Amino acid sequence: MREAALFSLTLFALPLSALPGTAAARPPVVVELYTAQGCASCGEANGHVAKLADKPGVLALTFSVGYWDYLGWPDSFAKPEFAERQKAYAAKLALREPYTPQVVVDGAAQATGSKTAKVDKLLADAAKARRLTPPDVHFVGDRRVYVGSARAPKGGGEVWLVRYDPREQDIAVKSGDNKGQTLPERNVVRELSRLGVWRGGPAAFRLPVAGEDGLKTVVLVQAAHGGRILGVGQPKS
């Protein structure tokens, strides 16, 4: 009870720009790559998304999945929750099944990751189409995040915590379909957790402690069940 009261006082102490109903900064376009180290056709997509990570106004995230582990190389970054996120997109976007390499842009459109021209077109379209006012996302220290008020989609929204390694990594694959190859990976997601629901009003969420050092944190406000990304927040460095 005391902690809740103190947190409420903290929220009232936030600057005006962080309060509900004020203008929030335009969030970056979120590019999610679903890839696997055992996927023979993923190298080009990995490299292209690594380059997109350097573009202003773009947040590129690499999610590794383990669909191809049975071919002889277990993906060193894959986690079940990443595959579940991709499956939610497959259902929302009316795909028959998940696949790699897949790129999902702003949770609203997808393309084969190796079709780089199509990925770039989706990225350009998303940058021009973003007209709705996003909810403000404000971090209070390293253990709380505040989501402001904005128009919520039908069915409400969800708040997701993503922690990723910003380094570019070269993965030497020693078995399976990519045996002998070195695959580039950038902004590799290491942690993913659903913080809770968001229904359009101001809400506060507790952040779990990071499981690794050196990870960057991002919070995504998203329509429920693999829907459009509505807001993006990252702590100020």
Helices in 56-175 by DSSP H: which ranges?
80-92, 116-129
The overall average pLDDT reported for the chain is: 89
Q: What percent of the chain stands above pLDDT 90?
A: 84
Kindly state the average pLDDT of the residues 123-151.
90
Q: In the prediction, which pLDDT does 60 show? A: 98
Written as one letter, the residue type at 48 is H
Reduced to 3 states (helix: H, G, I; strand: E, B; else coil), residue 127 is helix
Query: Residue 129's pLDDT band (boundaries 50, 70, 90)?
Result: confident
Kindly state the average pLDDT of the residues 78-107.
97
Look up residue 109 and give its two tokens: 């459109």
The answer on pLDDT for 2 being more than 60 is no
Q: Which structural domain, as residue segments, surrounds residue 136?
A: 2-233
CATH number, domain at 32? 3.40.30.10
Q: How many domains does the chain have?
A: 1
Kindly state the average pLDDT of the residues 40-65.
96
The DSSP secondary-structure symbol of 12 reads: H
- Round to whole Å and give the CA distance between 42 and 184: 10
In this predicted model, what pLDDT tens digit does every residue of 172-203 receive, in sequence order? 999 999 999 999 999 999 999 999 999 999 99
Q: Of the given ranges (15-19, 45-49, 110-114), which has the lowest mean pLDDT? A: 15-19
Query: Residue 25's pLDDT band (boundaries 50, 70, 90)?
Result: low
Q: How distant, in Å, are the alpha carbons of 23, 39, 57, 152 from that of 101?
A: 36, 8, 22, 31
Query: Residue 22's pLDDT band (boundaries 50, 70, 90)?
Result: very low
Q: In the prediction, which pLDDT does 26 show? A: 78
In this predicted model, what pLDDT tens digit does every residue of 201-229 receive, in sequence order? 999 999 999 999 999 999 999 999 999 99
Q: In the prediction, which pLDDT does 131 show? A: 64
- The CA-CA-CA angle for residues 196, 199, 202, to 5°, reads 85
- Round to whole Å and give the CA distance between 67 and 70: 7
- With a CB cutoff of 8 Å and minimum separation 6, the contacts of 164 are 61, 62, 187, 188, 189, 190, 215, 216, 218
- 83 HSE (CA, 13 A, CB side): 13
E strand or H helix that includes residue 170:
strand 157-172
- Do residues 193 and 211 lie in contact, with contact meaning Cβ atoms separated by under 8 Å? no
Written as one letter, the residue type at 165 is D
Strand-pair category, 109-112 with 102-105: antiparallel
